[in-house]
Amino acid sequence: MSTPTPHAVGALLSGIATATDAHELFAQTSARLRRITPFDAAVWVATDPINGLTTAPVRVENLHEGGCGTYWESELFAEHVNLFRDLARAPVPVAGLREVTGDRPTLSPLYRSFMCPRGFEDELRAVLRVDRQPWGQLSLFRERGRKPFRAADIALVHTLSAPMARRLRSFAQPSTPAATHRGDAPGMLLFDATGALVSINDEARHLLAEMPPGPSAATAAGIELPLPVWILSTAGRARLTGENTRIRIRTTTGRWLICHASCLRDADGNAGMTALVIDVATPSEVASLVVAAYELTRRELEVTELIARGRSTGEIAAELNLSAHTVRDHVKATFDKVGVTSRGELVAKLFTDHYEPLAARATLRVLGGAASA
Q: Tell me what the mean pLDDT of segment 95-110 comes to.
A: 93
Tell whether the model's pLDDT for residue 203 goes beyond 90. Answer: yes
| Domain extent at residue 123 | 6-171+361-372
The 10s digit of each residue's pLDDT in 221-260 is 667 678 888 998 899 889 888 889 989 888 887 788 999 9
- One-letter amino acid at 262 equals S
According to the model, what pLDDT value does residue 311 have?
Answer: 83
- One-letter amino acid at 4 equals P
Shared domain check, 305 and 260: no
Shared domain check, 76 and 217: no
119 in Cβ contact with 105 (< 8 Å): no
Could you give the CA distance from residue 15 to residue 26 in angstroms, rounded to a whole number?
A: 10
Mean pLDDT of the chain: 84
pTM beyond 0.75: the answer is no
Shared domain check, 365 and 343: no
**pLDDT over 90 percentage in the chain:** 46
Q: What is the CATH number of the domain that holds 234?
A: 3.30.450.20
Could you give the CA distance from residue 364 to residue 354 in angstroms, rounded to a whole number?
A: 26
Shared domain check, 270 and 154: no
Q: What is the CATH number of the domain that holds 328?
A: 1.10.10.10
Tell whether the model's pLDDT for residue 314 goes beyond 60. Answer: yes
Shared domain check, 155 and 24: yes
Last residue of a domain, one of 238, 258, 281: 281
According to the model, what pLDDT value does residue 179 have?
Answer: 44
Instruction: Return the exposure string of 113-143: e unless at least 16 CB atoms fall within 10 Å of the residue's CB, then b.
Output: bbbeebebbbbbbbbbbbeebbbbbbbbbbb
- Residue 112, judged by CB atoms within 10 A of its CB (0-12, 13-18, 19+), counts as middle
Q: How many domains, the chain?
A: 3
Q: Tell me what the mean pLDDT of segment 43-63 comes to.
A: 87
CA 206 from chain centre, in angstroms, equals: 22
Shared domain check, 223 and 154: no
- Confidence category of residue 156, pLDDT binned at 50, 70, 90: very high
- Domain membership of residue 88 (yes or no) is yes
Number of Cβ within 10 Å of residue 205's Cβ equals 12
Last residue of a domain, one of 221, 255, 281: 281
The 10s digit of each residue's pLDDT in 76-92 is 666 678 888 889 989 99
Could you give the CA distance from residue 14 to residue 267 in angstroms, rounded to a whole number?
A: 57
Could you give the CA distance from residue 126 to residue 105 in angstroms, rounded to a whole number?
A: 17
